[in-house]
Amino acid sequence: MRLFGKVFPLFLSLIVPLIWPALLPAVVVEKVMAIVNGDILTLTEVQEQSVPLIRRMVMESSERSGAPRVDDTQKMVLERLIDQRLQLQEARTHGITTSAAEVDAYLEDLKKNANIKSNEDFQQVLAKEGLALPKLKKDVEDHLTILKIVGKEVRSKIIISEPEVRKAYEDEIDKFVEPTQVKLRYILIALPRDASPEATSEEKKKAEQVLLKLRKGEDFSQVAKENSAGPMADLGGDIG
């Protein structure tokens, strides 16, 4: 019994370290979500991008039934990160980078547009969104770099010769020429169908007097207001 009493504690001290890990639940330290030309995208990166998006989607859907599925959101974010990583790799191939000064200028514009007065207010906004300034700067750097490579690729594919420009202009010349426009005013001297010769003569004299005033250079609008029987007389006979 004495021998067993001495051996058993020694046995436990040897065997427990061997079986203890098997008794604990597995813990995932990190998970590779994708490998893009040798660049690894981890679960942590996907989650960092997903959390603010999920928070925003939950807030927007608070008045509706249901909430966004985390799996679907992370899948969407992963696809976007893969595209982003490919674009950044292409930018590196062409030596395209973004400086810290460009990032700072972008953030200053961001604060100005959001009417954020101080750095302290900016930090509070970031904290509310669950963002850290170093991470935000890295995201802005990547964003500006991608804009540069996209712009470069687009410009390199848009090569228009002078003959092509001239032909396009000639084919669409009607669109570049404004049609002649006039502004119309009129003076109506009304004469009933059954007017007597005397009434006709009277109205004819009135029309001649009006014409004479206009030929002398009197203001058409004022003459129309004083003499026209048309519905637009108060507007100086203006019909647009």
32-68: per-residue pLDDT in tens? 778 888 888 777 777 777 666 666 666 555 555 555 5
| Intervals of CATH 1.10.4030.10 along the chain | 43-162
> Please, is 234 exposed, middle or buried when counting C-beta atoms within 10 Å of its C-beta (0-12, 13-18, 19+)?
exposed
Put residue 77 in one of left, alpha, beta given phi > 0 → left and psi -120 to 50 → alpha: alpha
Three-state SS string over 75-132 comes to HHHHHHHHHHHHHHHHHHHCCCCCCHHHHHHHHHHHHHHCCCCCHHHHHHHHHHCCCC
Extract the tokens encoding 96: 């395209």
Q: What is the pLDDT of residue 210?
A: 83
On the question of pLDDT at 14 being above 50, the answer is: no
Q: For 89-101, what is each residue's pLDDT tens digit?
A: 888 888 989 999 9
Residue 39: strand pairing partners: 36
Best CA proximity match to 237, nearest among 97, 123, 226: 226
User: Is there a contact between 81 and 49 (Cβ–Cβ < 8 Å)?
Assistant: yes
Q: What is the pLDDT of residue 8?
A: 43
What percent of the chain clears pLDDT 70, i.e. is strictly above it?
76
Query: What Rg do the C-alpha atoms of the chain give, in angstroms?
Result: 41
Token pair 């008794």 in the structure block, residue = 23
Tell me the CATH number of domain 43-162, given options 1.10.150.120, 1.10.4030.10, 3.40.50.10490, 1.10.3720.10: 1.10.4030.10
How far apart CA 233 and CA 240 sit, in angstroms, is: 13
**Is the whole model's pTM more than 0.85, yes or no?**
no
How far apart CA 79 and CA 39 sit, in angstroms, is: 14
Q: For 58-93, what is each residue's pLDDT tens digit?
A: 655 555 555 556 677 778 888 888 888 888 888 888
User: Is there a contact between 78 and 41 (Cβ–Cβ < 8 Å)?
Assistant: yes
- Most confident option among 11-20, 79-88, 94-103, 209-218: 94-103
Average pLDDT, integer, range 116-141: 84
**Mean pLDDT lowest for which of 1-5, 174-178, 219-223?**
1-5
